[in-house]
Every structure is written in structure tokens, then in C-alpha cells.
């Protein structure tokens, strides 16, 4: 029985992780569940799964959650500091970091420092502080198991290839709802249109990132740290069918690909059960019905966020942290209809030009860079 702390249990990844626990109750147990503001769903999950503890990060909802769980044998905590504390519980075997954005960094670092293996769905943690996170994981002998479908695919393709260094990583993406749009067409798109992803059902932030292709940029940076691969050897390809989740090319020219229907429960289950594969009831690929696969390079002159991500990792230091913070502010402003779609990339670019580069940042430097960038990005909205 593997006891899990699920950070962000009310989000898309968190809810699907709980689906995995429902399917394999003899394999996994929800030990800790957390949410930011969704107090009703968190309370319902606590009643169903009876974890040791729950955390509502937003303190405003603490009294309500306490009232809702008054007769349930579950400990109730609140505040961002509680997220850092609960992952250190002796009763936690693995931490699934499914929180959105920069907020996932501190709890993930706490989990690593306390020797907990991490199933990582929060790509921003490695984007912001990949050097720090990977060094700490090595120091504490902690596994970081990827949950994103693309990185899970690469991870699976590398299984059994310990003696064979990959030559290239190929990250695939659907292209989002605006594949083939011109820059002028993008100027008039609405949040409602941007949230209509053609393949995946995800949270609002990641769905907008998919529409701008920033998500592919963040995934490229995450892959750089997860697999120790230079950015120049990480390629992004548009694959609208979303069946091939990523590929790995080796020195002899062989290419391995991992395929599966677009269902996040599969990579979640693989990360939680690794190194074993559990029998599941997930739908299977029917090759007789798939038809053709198509691929094309992304247009980085139109979808500039992807190019900015390559620039950020090339400059190094705190610049990916700046990229991420600026993007989080800009995406929320777009969702609030304060800026246009193409202004997301413009705000990110201006922040990367304005914020000073720190070549060898420490943990405090990342926190300061994040705060400074958010303040400046907000002034541009």
C-alpha cells in the first residue's frame, strides 16, 4: 500500500489521481489531500477517502472546512506553510504535486528534503528552479517521476536504455485550438475560444498555455532538467491526433515512441505504480481506426511564447523563473479580459528584458525574482 499526499486534489490532475485510487484501492491510499479554494470538493473528497489530513491553502475557507468536517476523523490545516509541513509526515510515502504554477515549488522542495519520492505534475517547479530541485533530489536520493503525458512518454521510451544516451527528445503537442492561425487572427481570439482545447480536458491555466504554445516551452525546459538533455536537442512537433505523446531518437537513428489515447489517468497511474504496470480499464488504442498521423513544426514567429522559452533556458539562471512568473500574470489577465491574447507573449518578453539576470540563483533568489517579475508584469497589464 502506497500512501499518497496529493497536492491539488481538486484540480484536473488531482481528481484523476483519485480515480486511480478508486480503481486500485489495494495499491494506493490518499493520506493527504489539499486544495487552494475549492472547499466543497475538498470536503467531499475527505468524506470519501478519509485521509489523515487535508489542507485548504486559502485561510479564508478554513472555518467553513472545519465546520463541514466536524464529524469526520480527518485533521484540518490551512495556509501555505501547512502545505510544506504535511508532505513531511512519516505516513506519506509519495507526494503527487498537482498544484498549478509557482505555488508548487516550496512543497516539492519540502518533500524532497524529507526523502519523499515525487510524482511531478507541476512543471513550473522544474522550470523555475530546475538546477536546485535536481541537485536536492540527487542529494536526498529521491526519484522525480514525471506525470505530464509528454515526459512520461519520454521516461517510458528510455526504460531499458541506461547504457544508450539519447540523441534527441521529440515533444509532441496538439497545436491547441488556434493551429494554423496567423498573428493577425490571434489578436481577436477570446478566452472562451482559447479554452476550447481540441484534445485534452484540463484546467484553465494550462489550457491557455496550450493555446499560446507556452506549455510546450515549459515542457521543453522541464525535459531539459528531467533528462539532462541540452535544449538544442529537444524538439517540439505539432501532432494534432495526440496519440504519440513523445519520442526519443538514439545514436543509431532508431526512434522510440510512446502511444496511448489522450487520458491523463495513464501517465498518473504509471508514475504512482512505477516500476510496475497495473492492469487498467482505460480504453485501448485501436490501430485499425486511427487513420493517419501528421506532424509539422510549430510556427514560433506566430506563437512567440515557445521561442521565448528557448531564449529563457539559453540565458539560464533566473530567466526561466522570470518567464514563468510573467506568463502566470499575463494568462490570468487574459482570462480576466484585461489584455488580448497576443499581449501574453509581449508581457513575457518585456519582463525578460527588464528583470536582471542572476547567473547562479539560490532558493531566495528564485523567490525574489518571482515576486519582482509579478509586480512588473502586473504594471504592464
Q: Give 179's contacts (C-beta < 8 A, 6+ positions apart).
A: 238, 240
Instruction: Report the pLDDT value the prediction gives residue 291, as an integer from 0 to 100.
Output: 84
Give the SS3 label for residue 7.
strand
Query: Is 123 in the same domain as 32?
Result: yes
Query: Is 155 in the same domain as 112?
Result: no
Give the SS3 label for residue 236.
strand
Query: Is 310 in the same domain as 161?
Result: yes
The closest alpha carbon to 142, from 164, 170, 111, 171, belongs to 111
* 115 cis-preceded (ω within 30 degrees of 0): no
Phi, psi for residue 178 in degrees, rounded to 5: -115, 25
Query: Is 89 in the same domain as 197?
Result: no
The helix or strand, by DSSP H or E, that contains position 345, with its residue range, turns out to be helix 343-354
Query: Is 164 in the same domain as 140?
Result: no
Q: Give 129's contacts (C-beta < 8 A, 6+ positions apart).
A: 105, 109, 321, 361, 363, 366
Query: Is 35 in the same domain as 79?
Result: yes
Query: Is 10 in the same domain as 113?
Result: yes
Looking at the chain, which runs of residues are DSSP E strands? 2-7, 28-35, 53-56, 75-78, 94-97, 117-120, 144-146, 168-173, 234-238, 244-249, 255-259
- Contact assessment for residue 232 and residue 217, using Cβ atoms and an 8 Å cutoff: no
Give the SS3 label for residue 299.
coil
Domain holding 197, by residue range, is: 151-261+283-315
* Structure-block grid coordinates of residue 142: 529521491
Q: Return the CATH number at 45.
A: 3.40.50.720
Instruction: Report the pLDDT value the prediction gives residue 232, as an integer from 0 to 100.
Output: 97
How far is residue 6's CA from residue 13's CA, in Å, rounded to a whole number? 9
| Domain total in the chain | 2
Contacts 24+ apart (CB under 8 A), 56-59: 57/82, 57/83, 57/103
The closest alpha carbon to 204, from 12, 3, 9, 7, belongs to 12
Instruction: Report the pLDDT value the prediction gives residue 21, as an integer from 0 to 100.
Output: 97
User: What are the residues facing 29 on neighbouring strands?
Assistant: 3
Instruction: Report the pLDDT value the prediction gives residue 201, as an integer from 0 to 100.
Output: 75
Query: Is 32 in the same domain as 172?
Result: no
Number of neighbours of residue 339 by Cβ within 10 angstroms? 19
Instruction: Report the pLDDT value the prediction gives residue 199, as an integer from 0 to 100.
Output: 77
- Contact assessment for residue 55 and residue 80, using Cβ atoms and an 8 Å cutoff: no
Instruction: Report the pLDDT value the prediction gives residue 356, as an integer from 0 to 100.
Output: 97
Instruction: Report the pLDDT value the prediction gives residue 251, as an integer from 0 to 100.
Output: 96
DSSP label of 37: S
Instruction: Report the pLDDT value the prediction gives residue 344, as an integer from 0 to 100.
Output: 98
Query: Is 21 in the same domain as 121?
Result: yes
Instruction: Report the pLDDT value the prediction gives residue 265, as an integer from 0 to 100.
Output: 92
In a domain, 379, yes or no: no
Per-10-residue mean pLDDT, the chain, length 381: 97 95 97 97 98 97 98 97 97 95 92 97 93 96 96 97 96 94 95 88 89 97 97 97 96 96 92 94 86 94 97 97 97 98 98 97 95 98 96
How far is residue 338's CA from residue 317's CA, in Å, rounded to a whole number? 30
In a domain, 72, yes or no: yes
Query: Is 82 in the same domain as 165?
Result: no
Amino acid at each position: 500500500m502506497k500512501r499518497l499526499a496529493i497536492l491539488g486534489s481538486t484540480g484536473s490532475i488531482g481528481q484523476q489521481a483519485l480515480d486511480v485510487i478508486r480503481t486500485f484501492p489495494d495499491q494506493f491510499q490518499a493520506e493527504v489531500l489539499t486544495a487552494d479554494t475549492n472547499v466543497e470538493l475538498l470536503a467531499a473528497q475527505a468524506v470519501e477517502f478519509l485521509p489523515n489530513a487535508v489542507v485548504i491553502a486559502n485561510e479564508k475557507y478554513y472555518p467553513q472546512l472545519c465546520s463541514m468536517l466536524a464529524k469526520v476523523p480527518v485533521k484540518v490545516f490551512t495556509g501555505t506553510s501547512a502545505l510544506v509541513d504535511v508532505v513531511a509526515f512519516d505516513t506519506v510515502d509519495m507526494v503527487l504535486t498537482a498544484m498549478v504554477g509557482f505555488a508548487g515549488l516550496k512543497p516539492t522542495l519540502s518533500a524532497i528534503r524529507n526523502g519523499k519520492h515525487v510524482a511531478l505534475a507541476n512543471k513550473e517547479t522544474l522550470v523555475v528552479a530546475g538546477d536546485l530541485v535536481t541537485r536536492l533530489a540527487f542529494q536526498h536520493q529521491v526519484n522525480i517521476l514525471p506525470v505530464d503525458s509528454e515526459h512520461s512518454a519520454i521516461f517510458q521510451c528510455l526504460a531499458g536504455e541506461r547504457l544508450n544516451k539519447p540523441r534527441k527528445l521529440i515533444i509532441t503537442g496538439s497545436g491547441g485550438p488556434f493551429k494554423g492561425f496567423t498573428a493577425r487572427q490571434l489578436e481577436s481570439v477570446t478566452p472562451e475560444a482559447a479554452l476550447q482545447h481540441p484534445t485534452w480536458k484540463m484546467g484553465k491555466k494550462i489550457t491557455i498555455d496550450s493555446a499560446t504554445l507556452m506549455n510546450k516551452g515549459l515542457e521543453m525546459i522541464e525535459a531539459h532538467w528531467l533528462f539532462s538533455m541540452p535544449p538544442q536537442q529537444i524538439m517540439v512537433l505539432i501532432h494534432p491526433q495526440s496519440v504519440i505523446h513523445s519520442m526519443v531518437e538514439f545514436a543509431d537513428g532508431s526512434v522510440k515512441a510512446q502511444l496511448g489515447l489522450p487520458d491523463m489517468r495513464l501517465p498518473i497511474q504509471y508514475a504512482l505504480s512505477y516500476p510496475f504496470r497495473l492492469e487498467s480499464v482505460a480504453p485501448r488504442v485501436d490501430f485499425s481506426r486511427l487513420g493517419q498521423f501528421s506532424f509539422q513544426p510549430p510556427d514560433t514567429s506566430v506563437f512567440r511564447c515557445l521561442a521565448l522559452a528557448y531564449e529563457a533556458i539559453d540565458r539560464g539562471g533566473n530567466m526561466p523563473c522570470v518567464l514563468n512568473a510573467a506568463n502566470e500574470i499575463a494568462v490570468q489577465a487574459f482570462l480576466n479580459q484585461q489584455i488580448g491574447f497576443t499581449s501574453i507573449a509581449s508581457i513575457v518578453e518585456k519582463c525578460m528584458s527588464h528583470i536582471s539576470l542572476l547567473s547562479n540563483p539560490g532558493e531566495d533568489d528564485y523567490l525574489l525574482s518571482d515576486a519582482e517579475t509579478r509586480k512588473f508584469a502586473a504594471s504592464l497589464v
